Amino acid sequence: MKRFIILSTLLLLFALSCKAQKPRFYLGFDQILDNREYFTPYAKHQTFFGARINPGASFTFDSVHQVHAGINYMYEYGGTLLGVMPQVDLYYSYRTSSFQAFFGSFPRREIMNYTLFQLTDSLNYYRPNMEGASISYQWTWGMVHGWVDWTGRATEDTRESILAGVDATFMAGPFRIYSSSTRYHLARSEAADDNNRIRDDGSIMVLVGMDLSGKGVLDRLEFSTGMATTYMRARPADTRWSNGWYSQIDLGYSIAGIKGVYYLGDPSPLLYGDRLFGSGNYGRMDLYVDPFRNPRISSRIAWNFHFLPGDGLYFSQQLLIHITL
């Protein structure tokens, strides 16, 4: 029976490869340097320094169906060869002008646009692939997107965990309404002596703003503000809710830009969010440039200021380069 299944699978793969067009090979490269000079109990003082390579191939069966296979590997400078576990590109995609669906293990970079309040940027350094599903639909005045990321199957050594979210954008001229939500579930492992408590946390954010990019001197001018609500529950305790006000602005001209963020409210409990928002009173200003004005190269050279009233002013520096061939 096993031989029959293996043979049938091989024949199916051969038939699909015969039907598909010639594979399109791709190569991605990331240079990562993020030096965080924090001296605060809310976040670690640390430096991320390494390079990531992402070779693979995609097979197109018609104008909308594709199968992708590759490897996504990061070498952290000063570390061991497999110090960071590689991720596999192995997914199916369906794309039209209005509908997109991804199933498998696929890069999250181009399909995720969440604030650092909800999802920290180090996810893109160490776990750039989402492993699960992503479905989005867009029309002339809006877009809705849902996704699920399976982050751990229950074993004797691993706790079952899952991260998911839904986001939507609605537009009317320059006005924007952006809403997003996340939910993280961390269960127990299968070990007989596992006494960990089951944890759930999540967020709901609704922002109202304007996009005035290209309507004046500046190439980019976007700002928004609104409510950010989070919750956390360590079962069997009751759910604890937190609320705050979140604002952001992003403006740029040519290769330079400034991005500002401010959050004031209850401390955020989100495990996957940026830990500095756990202070409950946090402002950030990024001064950045993108010197490589090329469709295949994006970069960010930034000097970032982190304001924690009553705690101090801290800094971080970033050199991020992404190349797609």
Q: Is residue 14 part of a domain?
A: no
pLDDT for 121 beyond 80: yes
Residues with Cβ within 8 Å of residue 237, at least 6 apart in sequence: none
Average pLDDT of the chain is: 91
pLDDT tier at 155, thresholds 50, 70, 90: confident
Give pLDDT, residue 1.
Answer: 55
pLDDT for 11 beyond 70: no
pLDDT tier at 17, thresholds 50, 70, 90: low
Give pLDDT, residue 190.
Answer: 81
pLDDT for 2 beyond 80: no
Q: Is residue 1 part of a domain?
A: no
Tell me if 47 sits within 8 A of 81, measured CB to CB: no
pLDDT tier at 195, thresholds 50, 70, 90: confident
What percentage of the chain carries pLDDT values higher than 70?
94
pLDDT tier at 67, thresholds 50, 70, 90: very high
Q: Is residue 168 part of a domain?
A: yes
- Which domain does 86 fall in, by range? 24-324
Q: Which of 92, 70, 87 is nearest to 20 (CA)?
A: 92
d(CA 71, CA 56) in angstroms, rounded, equals 6
Q: Is residue 63 part of a domain?
A: yes
Q: Is residue 56 part of a domain?
A: yes
pLDDT tens by residue, 233-284: 989 888 999 999 999 999 999 999 999 999 999 999 999 999 999 999 999 9
Q: Which of 87, 71, 90 is nearest to 13 (CA)?
A: 90
d(CA 319, CA 325) in angstroms, rounded, equals 20
Of the listed ranges 26-30, 205-209, 216-220, 291-295, the one predicted with least confidence? 291-295
Give pLDDT, residue 214.
Answer: 85
For CA atoms 146, 102, 138, 124, give the dihedral sign: positive
CATH of residue 130's domain is: 2.40.160.10
d(CA 28, CA 126) in angstroms, rounded, equals 15
Q: Is residue 141 part of a domain?
A: yes
d(CA 220, CA 211) in angstroms, rounded, equals 8
Quick one: tokens of 317?
Answer: 């520096």
Tell me if 88 sits within 8 A of 72, measured CB to CB: yes
pLDDT for 45 beyond 80: yes
Tell me if 165 sits within 8 A of 146, measured CB to CB: yes
Q: Which of 271, 206, 267 is nearest to 242 (CA)?
A: 267
Give pLDDT, residue 63.
Answer: 81
Q: Is residue 238 part of a domain?
A: yes
Domain count for the chain, please give it.
Answer: 1
Q: Is residue 4 part of a domain?
A: no
Q: Quick one: average pLDDT of 30-44? A: 93
d(CA 128, CA 119) in angstroms, rounded, equals 12
What percentage of the chain carries pLDDT values higher than 90?
74
Give pLDDT, residue 188.
Answer: 86
